[in-house]
Amino acid sequence: MLHFFSSSARIVNTRRAVMECMEVALGNDYSDVDLLIFHASVGHDFKEMLAQAHEMAPQAKLVAASCCGVVGREGVSESMKDMALMAVKGKELAVSYCNEIYGHNTYEKMLVMANELKAAQPGISMVYTLSSGIDIDNDATIRAIEKVFGSEVTIFGATSSDNMKGVVSYQGIDSQVFQHGAYLVGFADPSLKIETQATHGFLAIGEPMVVTSSTDHIIHELNGRPAWEEFTQRLGLNASATCGDSIPIGALGQKLEPEVAKEYGNSHILRVVTHRDGNDMYYATNCPVGTQLWLTTRAEELIFSEMDRLVSVVKERMQGHETVAVFHADCLARGRFLFNRVIKDELVSRMQYPFYRQGECPPWLGMYGFGEFARLGGKNRYHNYTTALAVIYR
């Protein structure tokens, strides 16, 4: 049977931050912990982080990812020195990983990892995925995992990020640190169930841009013009702008089917551009010719009302069962880049409090990243600019 423990810290010294996270989450005995999942801001040294964790729990499997801030039981923090931990005890899990994963080979790399996961642990019903947030085809991630485990498996997780620059993000596995890596964690405890849901609260505006030339997840042209030039012009930016300039204001919306839109609480699903090569825009999913893309604007009241609805829907599906752990993926553009501290804290409080157990927040691992996974319309889907909660319960 799997048991979850979490903590977070805001300490400059990387090794000391690991020590505090471990001590708060697990006390003084680390001998029986089987998995350690770290999220840390890019101000931390990832090799030092993994080395310290291995020193304290040499028997545990270690995975890690960079982010633009963390959300834990202790609340939310977005600095260059944040760290959060989810520790897991129990044998009903497996981990696989790879390096050098990009958009063009996402499916092949993920397929190998998914097969390794299945061979290592029978009965996996949910898969936590974390990969590079830059140059990745996340639809291919879903297709590969479902090829091995079937569409009934629940995929949750995120893509790693930096401090919203779109330059480099990190993934750590055991003692190795990658810039284009990925890992999968499969959970096979038959006593556990999971509910996932995502929401963004943005509204589409104006006339759509049309993809007129693309290769898989790379957009070459919009409206017959070089993609980056057309995109930045529509945003009111100069073509010399960076991805970091465009991310806070450049959420792109794709229209959803009416029934799916009703469940989502919004008529569009959003996408982010985290990398460009000249005028080519690297999309987060496959983007065929003819795709219509709307610019969007945030609607603050909708962000809060849809967050409340998300929590209510998830709680209803759980039918009163006990929350064991929450994995929380949030878009970095929903953090301090859109909200001031007070509003951000209120938003996190409103998503956490309904899951409290006997007055305490359950184990909670949240990150501000480049993208999120959650089910929508009965299918595993990849999202951007959302809050996505994966609530594991027993």
Q: Which of 270, 298, 326 is the last residue of a domain?
A: 298
Tokens of 87: 């520790």
The tens digit of pLDDT for each residue in 122-148 reads: 999 999 999 999 999 999 999 999 999
Residue span of the structural domain in which 288 resides: 202-298
Which residues pair with residue 39 across a beta bridge?
Answer: 65, 84
Query: Looking at the structure, do residues 180 and 213 belong to the same domain, yes or no?
Result: no
Domain count, the chain: 2
pTM score: 0.93
Query: Looking at the structure, do residues 148 and 242 belong to the same domain, yes or no?
Result: no
Query: Looking at the structure, do residues 68 and 175 belong to the same domain, yes or no?
Result: yes
Q: Which of 246, 273, 298 is the last residue of a domain?
A: 298
Query: Looking at the structure, do residues 60 and 183 belong to the same domain, yes or no?
Result: yes
* Residues 6 or more apart in contact with residue 186 via CB below 8 angstroms: 93, 94, 95, 117, 118, 120, 121, 124, 126, 127, 128
Nearest to 159 by CA among 177, 140, 195, 183: 183
Give the pLDDT confidence score for residue 79 in this predicted structure: 83
Contact (Cβ atoms closer than 8 angstroms) between residue 9 and residue 77: no
Q: Where are the alpha helices (DSSP H) in the chain?
A: 14-26, 46-56, 106-120, 138-149, 227-235, 243-246, 258-264, 300-318, 341-352
Q: Which of 245, 269, 298 is the last residue of a domain?
A: 298
Query: Looking at the structure, do residues 128 and 37 belong to the same domain, yes or no?
Result: yes
Query: Looking at the structure, do residues 164 and 18 belong to the same domain, yes or no?
Result: yes
Q: What share of the chain is helix, strand, coil (3-state, %, to 5)?
A: 30, 40, 35
Query: Looking at the structure, do residues 120 and 254 belong to the same domain, yes or no?
Result: no
Query: Looking at the structure, do residues 41 and 179 belong to the same domain, yes or no?
Result: yes
Give the pLDDT confidence score for residue 343 in this predicted structure: 63
Query: Looking at the structure, do residues 194 and 210 belong to the same domain, yes or no?
Result: no
Radius of gyration of the chain, Cα coordinates, nearest whole angstrom = 20
Name residue 244's amino acid: G
Q: Exposed, middle or buried by CB within 10 Å (0-12, 13-18, 19+), for 79?
A: middle
Query: Looking at the structure, do residues 282 and 316 belong to the same domain, yes or no?
Result: no
Nearest to 222 by CA among 287, 272, 285, 166: 287
pLDDT in tens, the chain (394 residues): 999 999 999 999 999 999 999 999 999 989 999 999 999 999 999 999 999 999 999 999 999 999 999 999 998 888 889 999 999 999 999 999 999 999 999 999 999 999 999 999 999 999 999 999 999 999 999 999 999 999 999 999 999 998 878 889 999 999 999 999 999 999 999 999 999 999 998 999 999 999 999 999 999 999 999 999 999 999 999 999 998 889 888 999 999 999 999 999 999 999 999 899 999 999 999 999 999 999 999 888 888 899 999 999 999 999 999 999 999 999 876 655 455 444 677 788 889 999 998 899 999 999 999 999 999 999 999 999 999 999 999 9
DSSP state of 362: P
Give the pLDDT confidence score for residue 336 in this predicted structure: 52
Give the pLDDT confidence score for residue 342 in this predicted structure: 46
Query: Looking at the structure, do residues 142 and 192 belong to the same domain, yes or no?
Result: yes
Query: Looking at the structure, do residues 88 and 136 belong to the same domain, yes or no?
Result: yes
391: left (phi over 0), alpha (psi -120 to 50) or beta: beta
Nearest to 97 by CA among 186, 22, 162: 186
Contact (Cβ atoms closer than 8 angstroms) between residue 273 and residue 250: yes
